[in-house]
């Protein structure tokens, strides 16, 4: 296999551990913190997790290792969307297990949670692991989105673990996967299986964070990759001076990625879904806000600009969510076939008009025809609209174009509006992890091994104080039940780890809000450039602006 020079150089990179994990395995001891309670609905969560609820937060520190000598066989899975650094979690886990006892084994279950159900795994060895150090991607064992949530599935997992002598499972995933990890930990404890379960916080979306988890891994690298590209596009826009670029970035349920990219690049516009929902903005109002910037810049001779759109934006627009719900209802069951049988778009359009409420039809009617058709053509196996496939960057540029046409008619706009569209998503999920993610992920994995060695279960591997240099990071563990509350999901009350949305009174958003009026009119772009892996620390090791502001 041909290897790039950067890949070769990254193999040699030694990830930085938190200070307390640097003294060798024999000198890592546990400091007990306070007992924990769930963030809300304490009684209900306690009742659902009688064996794993209320445990103590723990921190590792330098001191005599008092754990029992044992031989461990650990299984690991990668769950959900790719995020840079996943390989390093596995490398850190592997190295710590081998340092604890060279007889310890690490099994990688393939293709995500389904690997645990299908008993499909590989046994890691040095040579195999070494090919993946400090590299992006999840191809070391693959990932998947199978949900591990029913008691029947848990029983199969336990059976497979017993068959292979696995005493602990590490689940590397987002809020849903870690919620399920907590339920699996409780199941294993309740059935006296002796199998421990530890979670690790992953997702480029950045929406698995709370007062304990300062950020999920992958967010740092993905946002730096997108920001590099946005900066490059902004420089092109500022050179050619003829296009408005509408750039959609990943982030399905929260706008952290868009916000961080905005903080890094200072675009003219960045939509934040959480704000759109809070202000109950309509599509027309959002388009009007963008058109204000286009018109103001045009008046100053600048017929170009940058607008960042979060992937999940349309679900935050209240009237659009109602429209989607009505469309799902309109096509439920056999009505899909009836709709599909209509030969022309005109007949389909009449069917839609007759089936929607007046309010939803008025929203539907202002959409460009290609988006209207997308809503009806691209549906999931249950017949529901696939909101994530909606090309919102094109939707908003079309709505802005219409708005500007009106302004032209009434003489308030005289500019030119040429557009380009981009979607930045998969480009960032498997990039070589930044030094921050390489270090953070390796530490999360190393720390997970220590949690297992000390006998913990139902804990999330926690590394904090991340705004400081790595030697000052703090390693430990937090019971996953502490992050839970009860939410209504598919008509049922479920214990879940709270998803973190952008907080409108949080420091990152407030910083953005304080500057965006100026950015909307002037050209204030910043150009972050490519991630640097070798060089001065202030260039190579900086965390995201979001994290820096949150911890300021
Ligand atoms: P996770 O929540 O599993 O980390 O995945 C997030 C994400 O990267 C989103 O940003 C994006 O909407 C989605 O995955 C895309 O999923 P898929 O890889 O299935 O197309």
pTM, entire model: 0.96
Identify the residue with better confidence: 328 or 401.
401
Q: Give 28's strand partners.
A: 62
- Please compute the mean of the pLDDT values over residues 313-318 and round it to a whole number: 94
Confidence of residue 252 (pLDDT cuts 50, 70, 90): confident
pLDDT at residue 61, as a whole number: 96
Whether residue 364 contacts residue 372, with contact meaning beta carbons closer than 8 Å, is answered with: yes
- Please compute the mean of the pLDDT values over residues 272-281 and round it to a whole number: 98
User: Which atom of ligand 1 is found nearest the CA of 216?
Assistant: 4
377 has a pLDDT exceeding 80: no
Among 101, 93, 56, CA closest to 76: 93
Ligand 1 site, residue 251, Cβ cutoff 6 A: yes
Ligand 1, residues 250, 273, 391: which to mutate, most atoms within 8 A of Cβ?
250
pLDDT at residue 374, as a whole number: 87
- CA of 512 relative to ligand 1 center, distance in Å: 25
426 has a pLDDT exceeding 80: yes
127 has a pLDDT exceeding 70: yes
Residue 310 φ/ψ, nearest 5 degrees: -70, 145
Residue 448: CB atoms within 10 Å: 31
388 has a pLDDT exceeding 80: no
User: Which atom of ligand 1 is found nearest the CA of 250?
Assistant: 10
Ligand 1 site, residue 174, Cβ cutoff 6 A: yes
Active-site annotation holds for 205: yes
Confidence of residue 340 (pLDDT cuts 50, 70, 90): confident
- CA of 330 relative to ligand 1 center, distance in Å: 28
- Please compute the mean of the pLDDT values over residues 337-341 and round it to a whole number: 87
Confidence of residue 192 (pLDDT cuts 50, 70, 90): very high
Q: Which two tokens stand for residue 538?
A: 């202030």
- CA of 81 relative to ligand 1 center, distance in Å: 4
466 has a pLDDT exceeding 80: yes
| Long-range interactions of 486-495: CB distance < 8 A, separation 24+ | 486/40, 486/41, 486/44, 486/45, 493/44, 495/41, 495/44, 495/45, 495/48, 495/49, 495/179, 495/182, 495/183
Work out the percent of the chain whose per-residue pLDDT is above 90.
Answer: 91
80 has a pLDDT exceeding 70: yes
pLDDT at residue 381, as a whole number: 67
Ligand 1 site, residue 51, Cβ cutoff 6 A: no
pLDDT at residue 389, as a whole number: 82
Work out the percent of the chain whose per-residue pLDDT is above 70.
Answer: 99
pLDDT digits (tens, 9 = 90+) for 401-419: 999 999 999 999 999 999 9
């Amino acid at each position: 296999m041909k290897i790039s020079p950067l890949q070769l150089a990254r193999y040699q990179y030694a990830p930085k551990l938190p200070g307390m994990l640097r003294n060798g395995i024999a000198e890592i001891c546990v400091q007990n913190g306070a007992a924990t309670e769930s963030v809300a609905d304490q009684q209900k969560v306690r009742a659902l997790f009688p064996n794993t609820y209320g445990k103590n937060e723990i921190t590792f520190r330098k001191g005599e290792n008092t754990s029992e000598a044992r031989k461990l066989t650990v299984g690991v899975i990668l769950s959900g969307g790719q995020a840079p650094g996943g390989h390093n979690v596995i490398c850190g886990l592997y190295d710590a297990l081998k340092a604890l006892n060279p007889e310890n084994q690490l099994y990688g279950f393939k293709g995500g949670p389904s690997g645990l159900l299908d008993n499909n795994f590989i046994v890691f060895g040095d040579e195999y692991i070494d090919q993946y150090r400090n590299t992006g991607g999840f191809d070391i064992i693959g990932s998947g989105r199978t949900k591990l949530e029913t008691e029947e599935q848990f029983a199969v997992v336990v059976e497979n673990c017993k068959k292979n002598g696995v005493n602990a499972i590490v689940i590397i995933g987002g809020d849903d996967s870690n919620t399920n990890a907590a339920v699996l930990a409780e199941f294993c404890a309740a059935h006296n299986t002796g199998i421990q379960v530890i979670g690790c916080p992953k997702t480029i979306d950045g929406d698995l964070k709370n007062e304990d988890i300062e950020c999920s891994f992958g967010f740092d690298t993905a946002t730096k990759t997108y920001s590099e590209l946005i900066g490059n596009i902004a420089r092109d826009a500022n050179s050619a001076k003829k296009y408005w670029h509408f750039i959609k970035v990943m982030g399905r349920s929260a706008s952290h990625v868009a916000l961080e990219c905005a903080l890094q690049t200072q675009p003219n516009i960045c939509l934040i879904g959480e704000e759109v929902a809070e202000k109950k903005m309509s599509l027309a109002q959002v388009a009007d806000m963008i058109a204000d910037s286009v018109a103001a810049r045009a008046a100053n001779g600048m017929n170009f600009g940058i607008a960042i759109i979060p992937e999940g934006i349309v679900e935050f627009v209240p009237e659009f969510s109602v429209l989607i719900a009505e469309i799902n209802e309109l096509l439920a069951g056999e009505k899909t076939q009836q709709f599909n049988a209509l030969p022309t778009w005109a007949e389909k359009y009449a069917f839609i008009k007759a089936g929607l409420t007046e309010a939803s039809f008025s929203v539907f009617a202002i959409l460009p025809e290609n988006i209207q058709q997308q809503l009806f053509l691209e549906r999931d196996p249950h017949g529901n609209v696939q909101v994530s496939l909606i090309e919102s960057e094109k939707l908003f540029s079309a709505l802005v174009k219409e708005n500007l046409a009106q302004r032209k008619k009434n003489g308030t706009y005289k500019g030119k509006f040429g557009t380009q569209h981009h979607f930045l998503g998969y480009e960032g999920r498997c990039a070589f992890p930044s030094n921050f993610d390489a270090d953070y992920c390796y530490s999360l994995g190393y720390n997970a091994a220590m949690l297992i060695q000390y006998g913990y279960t139902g804990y999330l591997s926690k590394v904090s104080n991340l705004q400081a240099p790595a030697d000052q990071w703090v390693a430990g563990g937090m019971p996953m039940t502490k992050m839970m509350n009860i939410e209504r999901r598919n008509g049922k009350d479920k214990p879940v780890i709270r998803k973190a949305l952008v907080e409108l009174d949080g420091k990152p958003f407030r910083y953005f809000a304080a500057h965006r009026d100026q950015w909307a009119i002037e050209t204030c772009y910043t150009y972050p450039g490519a991630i640097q892996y070798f060089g001065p620390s202030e260039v190579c090791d900086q965390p995201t602006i979001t994290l820096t502001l949150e911890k300021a």
